[in-house]
């Protein structure tokens, strides 16, 4: 039986074994150094979208948070479950822009993390996704996402999305930026090829 790929996941299943090894070599603290100060200190409810093998989800769980880990690519999700079978991680097969499985849970979150995810959505999908993300945020929640800039690897589906567009889209949902930082890639090969990242974070505007 042929199963259509979720748009944006192209190219990941084919190199899943390599990615599992690569991602395990990068520490959570190094990867997210620019946003660590925005993470909740008290035990909270975290939505990690595009969890991959669950390295971030496991780090959040180790901090005492309850985590919903969303990953549509089975070849990444199943190794992630095997590596990080923590009782406070709930793994879901779901994806943006609709997040239908997450929405059906009728839960809201203190933190939503989209690490290396947003650039896989085209313009129409981004417009559909932002309201869904906003609806899943508690009043005091933080939304953290990253934007990739640079050459697109062969076989992948990526778009070079600007911080300006993302902030304008967030503003339609009354989400204001609290972080806008540009950084080089922490992966050596990406850095050598000129890949850079923008880290953005948003919170609800006060009434």
Residue 14 pLDDT > 60: no
- High-pLDDT (> 90) share of the chain, %: 63
Extents of the domains making up the chain: 13-204
Query: At 11, is the pLDDT very low, low, confident or very high (cuts 50, 70, 90)?
Result: very low
List of residues 6+ apart from 21 with CB closer than 8 A: none
Tokens 């989800």 sit at which residue? 57
Query: Is 3.40.50.720 the CATH classification of the domain at 13-204?
Result: no
Q: Are strands 137-149 and 66-70 parallel, antiparallel or unpaired?
A: unpaired
Q: What is the pTM of this model?
A: 0.86
Phi, psi of 3 (to 5 degrees): -115, 120
Burial of 108 (0-12, 13-18, 19+ CB in 10 A): middle
Q: % helix / strand / coil in the chain, to the nearest 5?
A: 35, 25, 40
Look at residue 207 in the predicted model and tell me its pLDDT.
Answer: 63
pLDDT at 7: 46
Cα distances (Å, whole numbers) of residue 58 to 27, 80, 204? 11, 9, 26
CA dihedral 13, 16, 18, 20 (to 10 degrees): 150
Q: Helices H, strands E: what count in the chain?
A: 8, 7
Higher pLDDT, 11 or 148: 148
Angstrom distance (rounded) from CA 35 to CA 115: 11
Summarize pLDDT for 48-101 with one digit per residue, the tens. 999 988 999 999 999 999 999 999 988 889 988 998 889 999 999 999 999 999
Closest CA to 59 of 73, 46, 72: 46
Report for 5-19, 157-171, 192-206: range of highest mean pLDDT: 157-171
Q: Contact at 8 Å (CB) between 82 and 59?
A: no
Residue whose entry in the numeric block shows the structure tokens 């945020």: 137
Across 33-49, average pLDDT: 96
Residue 42's pLDDT is: 96
The phi and psi torsions of 111 (rounded to 5 degrees) equal -145, 135
Asked which of 32-36, 152-156, 188-192 is least confident by mean pLDDT, the reply is 188-192
Q: Hey, what are 120's tokens? A: 């896989």
Summary mean pLDDT of the chain: 86
8 Å CB contact between 124 and 116: no
User: What pLDDT does residue 186 have?
Assistant: 63
- Residues 184-201, mean pLDDT to the nearest whole number: 73
- What pLDDT score was predicted for residue 8? 44
Quote the pLDDT of residue 73: 87
Asked if the model's pLDDT at residue 167 lies above 70, the reply is: yes
Q: What is the per-residue pLDDT for 2?
A: 29
Instruction: Answer yes or no: is pLDDT of 13 > 70.
Output: no
Cα separation values, 29 from 26, 49, 94, Å: 9, 18, 26
């Amino acid at each position: 039986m042929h199963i259509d790929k979720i748009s944006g996941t192209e190219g990941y299943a084919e190199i899943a074994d390599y990615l599992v090894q690569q991602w395990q070599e990068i520490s959570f603290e190094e990867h997210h150094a620019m946003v660590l100060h925005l993470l909740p200190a008290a035990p909270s409810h975290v939505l990690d979208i595009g969890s991959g093998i669950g390295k971030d989800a496991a780090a959040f769980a180790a901090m005492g948070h309850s985590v919903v880990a969303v990953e549509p690519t089975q070849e990444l999700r199943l190794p992630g479950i095997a590596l990080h079978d923590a009782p406070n991680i709930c793994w879901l097969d779901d994806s943006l822009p609709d997040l239908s499985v997450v929405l059906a849970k009728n839960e809201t979150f203190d933190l939503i993390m989209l690490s290396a995810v947003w650039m896989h959505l085209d313009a129409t999908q981004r417009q559909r996704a932002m309201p869904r993300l906003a609806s899943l945020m508690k009043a005091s929640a933080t939304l953290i996402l990253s934007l990739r800039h640079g050459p697109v690897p062969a076989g992948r589906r990526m778009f070079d999305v600007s911080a300006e567009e993302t902030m304008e889209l967030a503003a339609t949902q009354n989400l204001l930026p609290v972080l806008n930082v540009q950084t080089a890639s922490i992966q050596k090969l990406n850095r050598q090829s000129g890949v850079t990242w923008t880290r953005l974070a948003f919170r609800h505007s006060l009434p």
